[in-house]
Amino acid sequence: MGEVLAPVLNAAETRAARGVMKALVYRGPGFKALEERPKPAIKAADDAVVKVLKTTICGTDLHILKGDVPSCVPGRILGHEGVGMVESVGPGVTMFKPGDTVLISCITSCGKCGYCRRGMYSHCASGGWILGNTIDGTQAEFVRIPHADTSLYSIPEDVDQEALVMLSDVLPTAFECGVLNGKIESPGISVAIVGAGPIGLATLLTSRFFSPDKIIMIDRDDNRLTEARKLGADIVINNAVHDPVAEINKLTGSTGVDAVIEAVGTPEAFELCENLVAPGGCIANIGVHGKKVDLHLEKLWSQNISITTRLVDTVTTHVLLKAVATKKVDPACLISHRFTFDRILDAYATFGRAAETGALKVIISVTGV
């Protein structure tokens, strides 16, 4: 009888067999490290443990690394986006089973508390934005997902996994916090988007669902403005070269823009929005703000404007999944770079120096490293 050979395991499988995994860990403002950490296990009946296949880096991760998010403490595994395969589920999980390929929502929701019943999943009493913030996140080989039935989504078989990673956060954030909160709900609305990073470009993509009259993109990076043109922006303004207020006054007869979307997260960007909005218009804030912003009510008190803020609730994820599956929108166009998980520090360096590297969203392939 021939000798029975044991299967050859790759490095990730060998680690998993030892009960450990590789993960990107926040070590305090300005510090991060790729480390070996214990593999997560089921803690509650409605938990799932998911093997991460694809993940990405969010601008919010950069804010964490700057120290702007005090709820995220040193030692935390970062990341809140990804696509993966269910490895194990708790006895209370009924919608998913091991082997299912799933989209991981950036927002964890119980579906039962008062906030969830109002569609405010971001304020879930036992969830919200916890992944990569108050519990370990998705920039790892495995992640534990609480409330799995209402925090994971089944993935259509024939849809690109890399494109679907954009549905964890960037697309629903842009659509909910920018387009819907900005009241871009009918044809003929004029829209200005301040910031042509991934969130701003995703706002551009999803605002086109409603056929605005004109979409104006404002940024200091000509490369990103070129991308905005490709994705359908009618007008682009480099505010390092031109005065956007003067330019938009020329375009609108000095009335301003109906919907202004803040997609940067700096005091300067928000104050620019205040100077661009038309009477009766809306300023929709998406950016993560780590510093105070001046609200110029001495100018705006009589202008009938609305100012909206929101953390993404992911209540539109199911709609966006259909839009991607039917090719109404292609979020893969937001992907600029790809890395394997062992190069995640290079991915952070590339994403963090977007002005030099031309980075938009980066895809990190996790499995098999």
Q: What percent of the chain has pLDDT over 90?
A: 89
CATH topology of domain 173-308: Rossmann fold (3.40.50)
pLDDT at 1: 44
CA distance 247 to 251: 6
190-194 vs 361-365, strand pairing mode: unpaired
pLDDT, the chain, mean? 94
What's the CA gap between 59 and 354, in Å, rounded? 11
Length of the chain: 369
Which has more pLDDT, 358 or 6?
Answer: 358
Q: What is the pLDDT of residues 95-110, one digit of tens each?
A: 999 999 999 999 999 9
- Amino acid at site 140: A
The model's pLDDT over 176-199, given as tens digits with 9 standing for 90+, comes to 999 999 999 888 999 999 999 999
User: Are the C-beta atoms of 227 and 201 separated by less than 8 Å?
Assistant: yes
Tokens encoding 136: 């370990």
Q: Is 43 left (phi over 0), alpha (psi -120 to 50) or beta?
A: alpha
Q: What is the pLDDT of residues 197-236, one digit of tens each?
A: 999 999 999 999 999 999 999 999 999 999 999 999 999 9
How far apart are the C-alpha atoms of 97 and 340, rounded to whole Å? 27
Task: Give which of 357, 69, 355, 68 is closest to 347, Cα–Cα.
Answer: 357
For residue 367, pLDDT beyond 90: no
Residue intervals in the chain for CATH 3.40.50.720: 173-308
Query: How many C-beta atoms lie closer than 10 Å to residue 68's C-beta?
Result: 16
> Is the per-residue pLDDT at 352 higher than 50?
yes
Q: Quote the CA–CA distance of 255 and 166 in Å, as a whole number.
A: 35
Q: Domain 11-59+81-153+161-169+314-365 classified CATH 3.90.180.10?
A: yes
Residue with tokens 């009241």: 183
CATH 3.90.180.10 range(s) for the chain read 11-59+81-153+161-169+314-365
